[in-house]
Structure 1
């Protein structure tokens, strides 16, 4: 069995182009569909504040992650709005701020409220410091900074009307969906070796030797599993360690819960291999099957926005749906083990059914 595995990986080492290209495609499309869609509203910023106040104000403004602030001279900032390069310009002054917005910019009041809050906090801080005796101002400044870093109490916000609302993360949605979709082709390429070997009579030579047939099956299935699992682990690691995608503390759990999905796809590929008699038919069947599975399973769009009862019913027979449920469960939703038992058990059930039928059909065809 170990020797068969070594032979499989040696063949992969000699021709790794398809595996590498598929991994790169997953990363590129995931980035374009997820992180690439995230854009910040550009804002032209000008200031007449002194250097200390300006630094403090910019530091607070940068906490508004939905905006991208760029410093200009005041005339240049106004020109940016006039020519349509930006929709907003902010002029920071000692007595307050001046907000210039384009006619079609709808978030002016919200941005104004944010600026009012920042200005009131900074002005209050400076008023407290200036009202203190000169010899105590430095001590008061340090005390205020200490209080800001470690407040006496925190205010939490909770929407009681949306307790069961959908938790959404576009980055993870596109990452999980596209990765689980594309790995189907990777796993299928591993299972395709079985079809090719049986077609070329190599399978018969192996099984006639002293190697038990179950070891031959196990070696091929283990190779297909590792091929898909390592690709998923590699892609998730690239986006976690390299790109910095937030997994909500569930990165290592995601590497565990994806295992039943990979097993299910291996079993599904064996089932299709039992139906197909040639490598060409097998590749055609898997290509035709993968896209509907991805569409129905929520790889392209979230099932939460689907209203068709028929589409939702069909989604329950797709492995991708349960794979995404498991990955979202350990990341965005922070689900308990009990909540994950349902998708986990469904994937294992599919694995047993597909594997059992697939191997039985393959064996009957061999006897014939």
Structure 2
């Protein structure tokens, strides 16, 4: 077994492009889809309305920038209009002494959101001005004091698992989904060494050696398992410590989930090898199976938003569904291994069944 396992690593050293390519694809996809979303603020270009003072506009911008979701960037009028002409911005906010105007070059999904927030800020400011004119000189200080020390505090919580509710984190969803998806290709394509050895006759020559057939299988399976786990773990560590993705505080539990998932995927690859007749057929089947499993299992989008009963039923047979559920439970909800017994058990049972059936099919054909 050890000699077979080490031989696969020698093959990897001579031809590492398969693993490296899927590793890089995962990094590129996750970085593109989720890596730039650490700052949730939406930037709105602003300019001083014609005939208005710069000081008044700056005061309004300071007031508008109290929002946690938007950042208003005051720039020169010519610069803003040039950016709108070039198509880099679809709209801008022109701020006057006591009013504002939306400058629109093209329709934008955020236009209504910005206009609604701006109108709210101006209305609140006008109310405060009217209250001050009516004799409430300290009205602003009184309101600020009330906000800092409210009479009644309301705390809201979302209970995970309640019907119709779930916590969505795009960075976590993208990282876990894309990493598990591309690792399917890495592990199952690595298993193609078995079919190639059987096709070239190397497998038959190894059978007459002192090696047992079970040791040969275990050597190949262990190599694919190690490569798959290493790819997933390295990517998780890269985004956790390199880009600050919050994966929770229980990384050992994540490692156990990764191990169970890798075992299930290697077993699935064994079943596929037992069902197909050649390596060419396996190459054609792998992308179909991997993509279908990712789509049904919630790798590309949260399974919680799916309402089709047929899709939900089919998703129950996808190992990636249970791995994602376990990983998100750890990273988002802070759960421990004791709470993950069900998805991990399903992954292990899935792996045992697929590997048993797959090896039997290969032996009958061999």
TM-score by length of 1: 0.75
Aligned to 1:211, what secondary structure does the other structure show? coil
The corresponding residue for 1:292 is 292
Q: Deviations over 1:105-152 (max 9, x none)?
A: 22234356679999x9xxxxxx99xx9xxxxxxxxxxxx9xxx9xx99
Q: Deviation of residue 344 (structure 1)? A: 0.9
The corresponding residue for 1:185 is 185
Task: Please give the alpha-carbon distance, in whole angstroms, between the structure 2 residues aligned to 1:3 and 1:238.
Answer: 31
- CA gap of 1:40–1:7, structure 2 versus 1, over 3 A, is same
The corresponding residue for 1:282 is 282
The corresponding residue for 2:75 is 72
The corresponding residue for 2:216 is 216
Alignment partner of 1:229 is 2:229: yes
Q: Deviations over 1:286-320 (max 9, x none)?
A: 22222211111111222222111111101000111
Partner residue of 2:155 out of 154, 157, 172: 157
> Are the counterparts in 1 of residues 92 and 103 from structure 2 also a CA contact under 8 Å?
yes
Task: Please give the alpha-carbon distance, in whole angstroms, between the structure 2 residues aligned to 1:102 and 1:40.
Answer: 20
Aligned length: 332
Task: Please give the alpha-carbon distance, in whole angstroms, between the structure 2 residues aligned to 1:320 and 1:215.
Answer: 28
Alignment partner of 1:273 is 2:279: no
> Are the counterparts in 2 of residues 46 and 77 from structure 1 also a CA contact under 8 Å?
no
The corresponding residue for 1:351 is 351
Task: Please give the alpha-carbon distance, in whole angstroms, between the structure 1 residues aligned to 2:180 and 2:46.
Answer: 43
The corresponding residue for 2:112 is 106
The corresponding residue for 1:139 is none
| Structure 1 gap ranges (5+) | 121-126, 132-143
Pairwise mapping of residues 1-368 of structure 1 onto structure 2 (< 5 A)?
1-35=1-35, 40-44=41-45, 61=65, 64=68, 66-73=69-76, 75=77, 85=89, 87-89=91-93, 100-102=101-103, 105-107=111-113, 108-110=115-117, 157-158=155-156, 164=163, 165-366=165-366
> Are the counterparts in 2 of residues 183 and 232 from structure 1 also a CA contact under 8 Å?
yes
Task: Please give the alpha-carbon distance, in whole angstroms, between the structure 2 residues aligned to 1:155 and 1:81.
Answer: 44
Task: Please give the alpha-carbon distance, in whole angstroms, between the structure 2 residues aligned to 1:161 and 1:112.
Answer: 34
| Structure 2 gap ranges (5+) | 49-53, 129-136
Task: Please give the alpha-carbon distance, in whole angstroms, between the structure 2 residues aligned to 1:356 and 1:111.
Answer: 64
The corresponding residue for 1:138 is none
Q: Deviations over 1:50-107 (max 9, x none)?
A: 9xx99xx59x94882x33443424x5587589868364447699xxx86544577222
- CA gap of 1:223–1:78, structure 2 versus 1, over 3 A, is closer
Task: Please give the alpha-carbon distance, in whole angstroms, between the structure 2 residues aligned to 1:15 and 1:154.
Answer: 66
TM-score by length of 2: 0.76
